[in-house]
Every structure is written in C-alpha cells, then in structure tokens.
Structure 1
Amino acid sequence: MRILDNIISDRGSKYAVSGGPCRNEDEAKDFIKTLCRKKKFAKATHNTWGLLAGDTPVKNDDGESGAGMVILRMLEREGLRDHIVVVTRWYGGKHLGGDRFRHVRDAVQLYLDTLRSG
C-alpha cells in the first residue's frame, strides 16, 4: 500500500491518495478496511476509489458524487489494471464546487506519476 498524504489543501479540505495491487471488488473492500485501520483515514469524509479489474470497472464515490468516475477514466487512459486508487478527502467546512474534481484528478495524477518514477 502506497499512501501520499497531505498532497492538496483547499479552503480547509485536505486530500491524500493511496493505492496498491487489487484484483476485484472484494479485495478493494479489504484495501479500504486496511486503509481505515489508520485512524486518520477512518475519520475522513470521503474515501473515493476506482479499480479496473476483470470485465467491469468498479468504483465507489463514498458520498463524493462523480469522483469515482473521474478516477476510473484516469486509470483507463493510463491502462492501469488490477490496481486500486483511493482519493481521500477531509472536508474543511466550505464547498469546493467543481474544484473538487480538479483535486481528485490532481491527486490521481500525482499517484500515477509516483508509480512511473518508482
């Protein structure tokens, strides 16, 4: 499990991104459970994720409507299969509007960049 914490901050909201090998929805749920064993992540407002595995992409918005699809599109463009990517947000008290999607994209891109660089 790779975790990049405190990567984006905007109007009080803070973001992290994490990921690791994952082959199906059951493993994705286990990944989220493991991530949430860290108290900080268990207290997050949203743990949104996407996974390309098997024939059907799997995602969970965790209340951050549309964010899972943003993650899936980026994984498809990258061709990254059997690897879950989770974007975590701690809500800071102010609505971010469409900026939240930009933050999800930026978080996933940062994660993908770290995968490429080793």
Structure 2
Amino acid sequence: MTRYPDSIAAAVEHEIVIKKSRFIAHAIPARSVPDADAAIAGIRTQYWDARHNCTAMITGVRGDQARSADDGEPSGTAGMPMLEVLRRRGLTDLVVVVTRYFGGVKLGAGGLVRAYSSAVSEALDRAAIIHRRELVAVSVEVPHTDAGRYENLMRDWAARHDAVMDQTGYGARGALLGVRVSPELLDRFDADLAAASAGLVAARRGEVSVIDVPAG
C-alpha cells in the first residue's frame, strides 16, 4: 500500500514565551505554494509590527515541495528548524508561520532553534491530523426497497475495514451506494457482498484516488 504524508484539518494557533520574547505559531492548511504564500501574507499583515515572521511550508500530495525563510533571524535558526519539525511529523500541504516579538533578551543560536521548533511542535500537537490514503471507488446498485438494508451492511463493513462511505444516489432504477476501499481489500469486499446478497448483487470498481481521512 502506498503511503502518503499526513496533513492538518484546520488552522491552529499557539503562543509560547521564552525569556520575555513572544513566539506566536500559526499552522495553516495549504494545498499549493500560492495558498501558502497567501497565508503568509495574511499573517504578516496581521502582525505587521513584529520583528520577525519566520516561515516553513511543505506542499504536494507526496510532500515534494518545501521552502523556509528566517525573516531576519540568524541563518538556519528559524525557518529550517521549523521545516524539520514538519518533516519529522510526516506532514504536507501546510504552512507554519512563527511571529516573534523580541523581549529584550538574546537567546543565542541554539536558543532560537529550540524556541522556533518548540513553537511549531506545540502548535501541531493541537492540530487535528488527517491521513492521506489511496482508495478505490466501489459502487453497488440495489432496488429502492433494499437500499436501507444494503446501506447499513456497507456502513458496518466500512467501519470494520477502515473504508469510507460515499453519498448514496437515487435514480429511476434504484439506489446507488458508494464506498471507498483499500486496493488490497477489494476482493474481500466482493466476497462479503456476494455472501450478504446470496450472489444477487455485485459491485463495480471505479477510479483510484487519494482521499483525506480524519485520524482516529
């Protein structure tokens, strides 16, 4: 099974204070570099009076685009440590911005690295994680009178096999039930459906796509 980096479901904000300096971390979903740039511009506008707005981003379904910036901090003390947190967590399609209001006490290079890394790490601890999974669309057409029974069967199967239900459609000939199934479980689904329907109902396989699935 192909594994993809995770992402976050929604933006989070977290602040830490170290030796009177405030570090305000924002982690924001971003599906593309332009999305990330727009998020960064918004934070910089909001915190226009801060001395530093340091950034790190990873985008692409495989996490193949990455960028960071120290924004005036000593080279390598902010952006790269922030980016390393994202990489260690196995995340993509997000940008993190850490705003620093200087408190008058210098932290040194090591102190800055720890501060920016901690701000990002603690913010991500508060984020809702979503997993990216490669799933196959499977559809099952049944008579209207049987739709409720088969929908319940499929929901129960999906819950037990980590699959994802699609919305049910209704047409002139019957109800169209959909579920997203891991490729390695397709034969199991077919067999279980055949057993539940005494061989009267068969599934049709459709496209393969990468789906966001909430963690847990």
User: Which TM-score band (shorter chain)?
Assistant: 0.7 to 0.9
2:35 is equivalent to residue 14 of structure 1: no
One-letter identity of the residue aligned with 2:102: Y
- Partner SS for 1:51: strand
Structure with more contact order per residue of length (Cα contacts < 8 Å, sep ≥ 6): 1
**Who is 2:120 aligned against?**
108
Cα RMSD, aligned residues only: 1.9
Deviation at 1:48, TM superposition (A): 0.8
- Partner SS for 1:86: strand
Decide whether aligned partners of structure 1 residues 44 and 32 sit closer, same or farther in structure 2, where only a CA change above 3 A counts. Answer: same
**Who is 2:37 aligned against?**
29
8 Å CA contact 2:43–2:97 kept in 1: the answer is no
Deviation at 1:58, TM superposition (A): 0.9
List alignment gaps of at least 5 residues for structure 1: none
**Who is 1:76 aligned against?**
87
- Partner SS for 1:108: helix
Decide whether aligned partners of structure 1 residues 90 and 49 sit closer, same or farther in structure 2, where only a CA change above 3 A counts. Answer: same
8 Å CA contact 1:47–1:62 kept in 2: the answer is yes
Deviation at 1:101, TM superposition (A): 1.1
- Partner SS for 2:68: strand
Same amino acid, percent of matched pairs: 36
**Who is 1:3 aligned against?**
13
Aligned pair count reads 114
- Partner SS for 2:126: helix
Deviation at 1:34, TM superposition (A): 1.2
List alignment gaps of at least 5 residues for structure 2: 1-10, 130-214
**Who is 1:95 aligned against?**
106
What per-residue deviation string (whole Å, max 9, x for no partner) do you get for residues 2-31 of structure 1? 322xx2222331111002111333322211
Deviation at 1:104, TM superposition (A): 0.9
Higher helix share: 1
**Who is 1:51 aligned against?**
57
- Partner SS for 2:116: helix
- Partner SS for 1:37: helix
Deviation at 1:116, TM superposition (A): 4.3
8 Å CA contact 1:50–1:58 kept in 2: the answer is yes
What per-residue deviation string (whole Å, max 9, x for no partner) do you get for residues 63-111 of structure 1? 1221111111111111110011111111122211021111111111111
TM-score by length of 2: 0.48
Deviation at 1:60, TM superposition (A): 1.3
TM-score by length of 1: 0.84
